[in-house]
């Protein structure tokens, strides 16, 4: 995170800060959707796309020297636009979205690049026992490089719940920057869509 769209900016002697490890959380899919591609907004065989603001997310997977990590496997999962996961342990009364994939997989190319299409998840209370504890919009990632596996979460820029989050608030300033995506100018073809960039830095590639 925090890298310019043109690629990593670093000197020959500077190391990029690694993306911080964060909890996987309780909602990793027990049953994965049959459709696991990089477009979470439209399920195969469905005519209607998922509800919510479309997000085009792109970036690179790098090592701390700024080298691209090719063939890194990226898994991601998230709540829907109502703040609910398609998981039996999620007791959130918010509705499920039958058109939202909720989980995706992609492999980086030779330059370490990935590109995904999803929707912006809503913030949500962590449970009925803690209705005042709200998690901000975020996306879970499990990244497998050649030498490093990283479980982490990506946060959206400018969200009011970020600084009070039970996980985000314990990161230091550099880690917060590394865990937060960067807004990019313009959007996709969809009205009011947003484009974000988030580079993932693995300790050993």
Q: Supply the residues annotated as catalytic.
A: 85, 124, 135, 138, 140
C-beta neighbour count of 201 within 10 angstroms: 26
Burial class (CB in 10 A: 0-12, 13-18, 19+), 50: buried
Exposed/middle/buried for residue 37 (C-beta within 10 Å: 0-12, 13-18, 19+): middle
Provide the b/e sequence for 134-165 (b: ≥16 CB within 10 Å): bbbbbbbbbbbbeebebebbbbbeebebbeeb
Instruction: List residues bridging with 61 in a β-sheet.
Output: 200
Structure-token match 């917060």, residue found: 176
46, two tokens? 């469905």
Contact 72, 42 (CB under 8 A): no
């Amino acid at each position: 995170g925090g890298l310019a769209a043109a690629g990593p900016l670093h000197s020959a002697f500077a190391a990029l800060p690694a993306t911080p490890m964060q909890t996987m959380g309780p909602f990793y899919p027990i049953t994965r959707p049959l459709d696991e591609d990089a477009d979470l907004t439209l399920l195969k065989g469905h005519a209607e796309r998922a509800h919510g603001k479309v997000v085009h997310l792109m970036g690179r997977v790098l090592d701390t020297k700024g080298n691209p990590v090719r063939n890194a496997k990226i898994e991601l999962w998230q709540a829907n636009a109502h703040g609910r996961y398609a998981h039996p342990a999620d007791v959130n009364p918010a509705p499920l979205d039958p058109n939202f994939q909720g989980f995706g997989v992609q492999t980086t190319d030779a330059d370490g690049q990935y590109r995904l299409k999803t929707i912006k998840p809503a913030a949500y209370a962590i449970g009925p026992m803690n209705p005042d504890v709200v998690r901000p919009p975020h996306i879970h990632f499990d990244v497998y490089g050649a030498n490093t596996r990283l479980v982490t979460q990506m946060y959206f820029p400018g969200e009011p719940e970020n600084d009070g989050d039970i996980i985000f608030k314990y990161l230091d300033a550099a880690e917060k920057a590394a865990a937060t995506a960067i807004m990019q100018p313009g959007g996709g073809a969809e009205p009011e869509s947003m484009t974000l960039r988030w580079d993932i830095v693995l300790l050993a590639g």
